[in-house]
Amino acid sequence: MANNDDKFKKVISHAKEYGYVFQSSEVYDGLSAVYDYAQNGVELKKNIRDYWWKAMVQMNDNIVGIDAAIFMHPTTWKASGHVDAFNDPLIDNKDSKKRYRADVLVEDFREKILQKINKDVAKAKKRFGDAFDENEFRSTNGNVLRRQKQIDDITERLTEVQEESDLAAFKQLILDLGIVCPVSGSKNWTDVKQFNLMFGTKLGASAESAMDLYLRPETAQGIFVNFLNVQKTGRMKIPFGIAQTGKAFRNEIVARQFIFRMREFEQMEMQFFIKPGSQGEWFKHWKEARLKWHLSLGLGEDNYRFHDHEKLAHYADAATDIEFRFPFGFKELEGIHSRTDFDLKQHEAYSGKKLQYFDHEDNANYTPYVLETSIGLDRMFLAVFSNALQEEELENNTTRTVLKLPAVLAPTKAAILPLVRKDEALVKLSKQIIEDLKWDFSVTYDEKDAVGRRYRRQDANGTPFCITVDGESLEDNTVTIRHRDTMEQQRVKIDDLKAIIKKEVDVKEWLMRM
């Protein structure tokens, strides 16, 4: 455990030290759970996104991409269920430290009174036998009437505070009813707080005409509302998919663990539209396909596992997570959800527009079912980065810090190093090599310090190749190429460099492992 904490700390500080991830607004002491991608981080992130995009869109002729706006019509979020499902008022008991939904506390309390009434009724029934008139008893018995009035009062007040969103009155209601915490038994409550999942904002320059908007909490809805547009203009036939990458925003109650859970994050989602009834086989298909994509990067098969959901969200009929072994344990990296026709049906209901597909084979209209794959780009970044960071003990009793990023994802593919800086001919040839390679790969140049130290610097930065230009290079046009992971060197022709590097960093070479 201590080891893992240690490891995680090293990941965070290495990410900063080598220009991968900075805390947002650091000069102002940072902004909680918001991070910036730095000069190397932005490259790694882009490479991961490209790797996903190529695997999903380019390699599947029935999947296309879109880039829907972050702002969406506010009704979108009513239809999707985000407005209602995440508006719960919460209250904490200060003694037990337990958190409850304030409305549930009141409802439970009301339920208890109702049960008392039922108990009284049952008792009376037993006592009076066949002569018992339940309706009469309920409308005349003093205890029952008193309790019923209590229930009605509670219902009235609860409705009122909920409609008015009056949090102070909500707390007062709980205090007035004398509700105690089931765990601590105390009435020591905090104020009622509203946790909104979505960030609100305003559209419109002047305050009067402004319209309330939300920043999207998931990219999926942009795909659903565009479903028919894409289907028609792209002449797509079911089954087909729409992919999208982009920022999403969630006001997490607890947002922590570096870039694992952020308030602003990036998703890579694909919604696959299918015939109702076929969701079982497509769920299986995408489960396997997505795992293969992960395994192609070679982060180690043991580091992945599926976690099937037993408790399902309101829209799903099956769900699984692909979990990855992060430094702080197995955590969700990607979700695969069978979303049924929930979303399209909802948007159909709220918009009044028909969002259906005409199947020419069946000669019938239907609302397609949806199979979703949704991966967090930032989480994937963290998975790749934390897995790559290693400290090796070498034979000469030194340790080597090396970032073993999959070469296809590495921000810089090769560093060109003149063996000695003072030799102008070496410098000149090095720069010529860079001029040639930079059309195909992102490359860098380093002439500072002894070459051994330069190797180590590139190791720590994750650069898969170092190309060293020496005196011999001037005579026979060969250089040494050093491999990051093995530290082995080969003597190769300068003309062959491009092909050698390409073989190791080309997306094709990696995706073919799927």
- Judged by the rule CB under 7 A, the positions of this chain that interact with RNA are 5, 8-9, 12-13, 16-17, 23, 29-33, 82, 85-86, 92, 94, 97-99, 190, 193, 197, 217-218, 250, 252-254, 256-258, 313, 328, 335, 337, 394, 396, 398-400, 419-423, 448-453, 455-457, 468, 470-472, 480, 482, 487-489
Q: Name the 3-class secondary structure at 27.
A: helix
Minimal distance, residue 336 CB to RNA, in Å: 10
Minimal distance, residue 193 CB to RNA, in Å: 7
Closer residue to RNA, CB minimum distance, 186 or 233: 186
Cα 398 to the center of its chain, rounded Å: 38
Dig out the tokens for 303 from the structure. 């580091």
Minimal distance, residue 335 CB to RNA, in Å: 5
- Residue 302 identity: D
**Do 42 and 269 contact (CB within 8 A), yes or no?**
no
Minimal distance, residue 383 CB to RNA, in Å: 15
Minimal distance, residue 11 CB to RNA, in Å: 10
Minimal distance, residue 301 CB to RNA, in Å: 24
Closer residue to RNA, CB minimum distance, 145 or 253: 253
Closer residue to RNA, CB minimum distance, 158 or 382: 382
Minimal distance, residue 122 CB to RNA, in Å: 33
Contact partners, residue 160, CB within 8 Å, separation at least 6: 166, 169
Write a three-state SS string for 404-419. CCCCCCCCCCEEEEEC
Which of 303, 313, 256 is closest to 12 using CA atoms?
256
Contact partners, residue 2, CB within 8 Å, separation at least 6: none
Strands 364-366 and 240-249 come out as unpaired
Closer residue to RNA, CB minimum distance, 154 or 179: 179
In DSSP notation, 292-337 reads: HHHHHTTS-GGGEEEEE-SS--TT-SEEEEEEEEETTEEEEEEEEE
Closer residue to RNA, CB minimum distance, 134 or 308: 308
Closer residue to RNA, CB minimum distance, 38 or 42: 38
**Do 263 and 295 contact (CB within 8 A), yes or no?**
no
Closer residue to RNA, CB minimum distance, 80 or 231: 80
Closer residue to RNA, CB minimum distance, 99 or 247: 99
Peptide bond preceding 217: is omega within 30 degrees of 0, i.e. cis? Answer: no
CA atoms of 272 and 20, how far apart (whole Å): 33
**Do 358 and 368 contact (CB within 8 A), yes or no?**
no
Helices 39-53, 377-388: inter-axial angle, 10-degree rounding? 110
Minimal distance, residue 361 CB to RNA, in Å: 33
